[in-house]
Amino acid sequence: MHGVSGFTLIELLVVLGVIAILFSLLLPALAKSRLAATKLACMSRIRDLGNLVALYTAEHDEKFPNAMGDGPDVQNNPDQWQKYTFQVYSTFPREPWLSWAGLNGLSEILYCPANRVWPNNLSDTWDAGSEPDYMLSASVFAQTKYFDPDLPDDVWKSKLGAKVQRISAAVFPDRKVGVIEVFVWQGWKGTYCKGCDVGSLEYYQSDEPGSLWFMDGHVDQIHSDNALPFVYRYPIWPYDPFGTTNWGMAGRDIQ
């Protein structure tokens, strides 16, 4: 009777070694595939969100969603102009936009799928920390001439920086950004913790491109380095690579 043959220890080690090598070769490819999938999903959400914004403008005299409005209480009160220009960060997770859109502060459409925080560590109110990954372009909250690069410093704090633009004011809609993925979660390698420095998450500091919705309806993945030079109206205007190019809504974000 012949003995039952089997693997020797050396053969087993060789097989395990080959498997380990193949696995190490596959890991980068799998990681790239996973990143590509989250980017596509992120673009899908920002497209849906942008389409909602476009629908909103169609029903609201072509004006974009806003948290404060631009009525006399804002226009006639210099103390409100700074708050007004910063509402790009707080429009999507607050009323009256949420009620109109049928959303809440934790709705998936407001977050890139690669966001490791959502939804376990977020509350349903923006003030408590549920800061969406997407925001409106800053240029929709200022009069176009506010972006004139030759504007004197003494008018930086004027009410030129507090006015909801109309979507039809975009002269180059195919190159004018309307919605921005401000936090590029899919390009972040860290671990979220409340109170930690999240400077590396900022869109303009990321190694990965972010999702953008353009005012003609198309979506693309573009890095902030590809944006035209922004106009910085310190101290009442936030840093925003897209949406603060020369002449605001009439200008172009992408060359």
| Furthest-apart CA atoms within the chain: distance in Å | 103
Q: Which amino acid is at 144?
A: T
Residue 122's pLDDT is what? 45
121 Cβ contact partners less than 8 Å away, ≥ 6 residues apart: 129, 192, 194
Q: What pLDDT, in 10s, does the model give residues 149-160?
A: 888 888 888 888
Task: Give 102: exposed, middle or buried? Use CB within 10 Å, 0-12, 13-18, 19+.
Answer: exposed
Instruction: Indicate whether 138 pLDDT > 80.
Output: yes
Q: Which of 89, 129, 130, 128 has its CA nearest to residue 108?
A: 130
Q: What pLDDT, in 10s, does the model give residues 16-71?
A: 777 777 767 666 666 667 767 888 898 999 999 999 999 999 999 999 999 888 88
Query: Where do the structural domains in the chain lie, given as residue ranges?
Result: 38-250
What is the model's pTM?
Answer: 0.80
Residue 200's pLDDT is what? 46
Taking CA atoms, 250 is separated from 35, 139, 148, 211, in Å, by 34, 9, 11, 22
Residue 128's pLDDT is what? 35
Residue 156's pLDDT is what? 81
What are the tokens at 144? 């176009």
Long-range (24+ apart) CB contacts under 8 A made by 147-154 are 147/231, 147/244, 147/245, 147/246, 147/247, 147/248, 147/251, 148/246, 148/247, 149/231, 149/246
